[in-house]
């Protein structure tokens, strides 16, 4: 599994060059793209095409060649294979067949963007590409809204404007994010702004719709836990006049606070009131 540059050819490692030269065949996502890379580094190893539409069938053929003693070098068009790119099915088949898998690390848009984000968090989620349609995309984002980790997305040029607009709508316009566009290339852009401002900035500049983008969204701020006593001003007059369930339901409607928290506090107040009643 050989990582290749995501833009700047100087990021090609000596080990990657040696791996491609030493392989019996290179399995390339697009032989035309990889052909330019091989030409630049004077690599003459033959290629076969392995992409998302033929990976199942090609994996079987390549595993047979590996079992016969050949070395296959897997590359994607750019970056590390199998990271939102073909390669995972071939690797899985190689594992199942007992073939040796050797990763040759190198450029990755994921780690490059994450390192440039400046967000401080011990945890990060790589989501990859969101659904292309707005409804499904917003549904996916809604599931991530409250997560306390950095989230990294890939996005295509023709969807970047809509994607950022949906992120601002779902995550909130104040959540900070970093747009990393055309990483390591001539027109590399790295911009950190609140999502509302970032979405507006990209929408106002058509140049930002050119090239692949990585969007790094900061972790959701930690929600402060409300003290049970914070609800007392709402609950006390309600439980004095209404049945407990009705009082809690009305308190939820007024405050928007979690029902379970309000119910527990209402019980505490009710029991406390009973304990203060004079005995007969």
pLDDT in tens, 193-213: 999 999 999 999 999 999 999
Question: pLDDT of 70-81, one tens digit each?
Answer: 999 999 999 999
**CB of 37 within 8 A of CB of 108?**
no
Q: Which of 69, 50, 67 is nearest to 1 (CA)?
A: 50
Quick one: CA torsion of 153, 157, 158, 163, rounded to 10 degrees? 30
Question: pLDDT of 7-65, one tens digit each?
Answer: 999 999 999 999 999 999 999 999 999 999 999 999 999 999 999 999 999 999 999 99
Q: Which of 58, 46, 47 is nearest to 94 (CA)?
A: 58
Q: With b meaning 16 or more CB within 10 Å and e meaning fewer, what string describes 209-239?
A: bebbbbbbbbbbeeeeeeeeeebeebbeebb
**CB of 1 within 8 A of CB of 101?**
yes
């Amino acid at each position: 599994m050989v990582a290749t540059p995501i833009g700047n050819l100087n990021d090609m490692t000596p080990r990657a060059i040696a791996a491609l030269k030493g392989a019996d065949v290179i399995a390339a996502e697009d032989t035309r793209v990889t052909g330019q890379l091989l030409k630049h580094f004077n690599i003459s190893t033959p290629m076969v095409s392995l992409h998302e539409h033929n990976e199942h069938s090609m994996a079987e053929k390549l595993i047979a060649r590996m079992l016969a003693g050949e070395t296959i070098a897997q590359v994607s068009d750019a970056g590390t294979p199998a990271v939102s790119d073909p390669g995972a099915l071939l690797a899985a088949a190689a594992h199942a067949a007992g073939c040796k898998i050797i990763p040759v690390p190198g450029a990755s848009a994921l780690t490059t963007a994450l390192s440039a984000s400046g967000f401080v968090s011990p945890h990060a989620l790589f989501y990859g590409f969101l659904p292309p349609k707005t409804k499904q995309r917003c549904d996916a984002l809604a599931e991530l809204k409250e997560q306390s980790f950095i989230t990294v997305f890939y996005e295509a040029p023709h969807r970047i404007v809509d994607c950022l607009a949906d992120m601002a709508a779902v995550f909130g316009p104040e959540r900070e994010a970093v747009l990393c566009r055309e990483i390591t290339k001539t027109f590399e852009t790295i911009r950190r702004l609140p999502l509302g401002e970032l979405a507006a900035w990209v929408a106002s500049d058509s140049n930002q719709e050119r090239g692949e983008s990585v969007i790094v969204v900061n972790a959701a701020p930690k929600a402060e836990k409300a003290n049970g006593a914070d609800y007392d001003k709402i609950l006390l007059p309600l439980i004095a006049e209404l049945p407990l369930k009705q009082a809690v339901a009305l308190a939820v409607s007024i405050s928007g606070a979690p029902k379970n928290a309000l119910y527990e506090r209402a019980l505490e107040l009710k029991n406390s009131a009973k304990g203060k009643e004079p005995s007969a």
